[in-house]
Amino acid sequence: MQKMKKTLTTTLLALTAGFAFGHGDIELGPNKGRILEFSNNETMHGEVIDKDGKLHIALLYKDMKPVKIEAQTLTATTGQRNNPTKLEVTVQGDAFTLATPAEGDWLILQFKASADAKAVTARLHYDTKKCDPCSNPEWRCGCAEKK
């Protein structure tokens, strides 16, 4: 019984903290873009920014230093689960570029460090509603970082 109470209390506190901080799991990169995890050990990240009507995803090492795109690949899917749309991904300079998803859609990215590497999946909810405190779109709101 005591263990059950402890488990319930821990769960309740975790849920409350999640609602209180809202954006707690969103990390912003050196260019104020949204950081996504592109590895299983936090050694490779993608920084997503919106520019000129497209999403640009730069690769960053764990120390947030840029990575040159060479053998790495990225695939992108968006839309509804029952009708997904594969987006064209191109390399422009040192970033992958792709069309922006529709408001409220999920963007599913699959990153491979090399042709024979296992893909790492990252997800981004493309919520463009403005966050009241910082006026950034919700998908790249960093309010929790300032606390």
Q: Please spell the DSSP secondary structure of the chain, one letter per residue.
A: -HHHHHHHHHHHHHHHHHHHHSSTT--B-TTSPEEEE-SSSSSEEEEEEEETTEEEEEEEETTS-EE--SS-EEEEEEEETTEEEEEP-EEETTEEEEEPPPTT-EEEEEEESSTTSPPEEEEEE---PBPTTT-SBGGG--GGGG-
Going along the chain from its start, the domains and CATH numbers come out as 23-146 (2.60.40)
Tell me the whole-structure pTM to 2 decimals. Answer: 0.80
- Supply the pLDDT for residue 14: 41
pLDDT bin (cut points 50, 70, 90) of residue 61 is very high
Higher pLDDT pick, 146 / 128: 128
Segment 82-90 shows an average pLDDT of 95
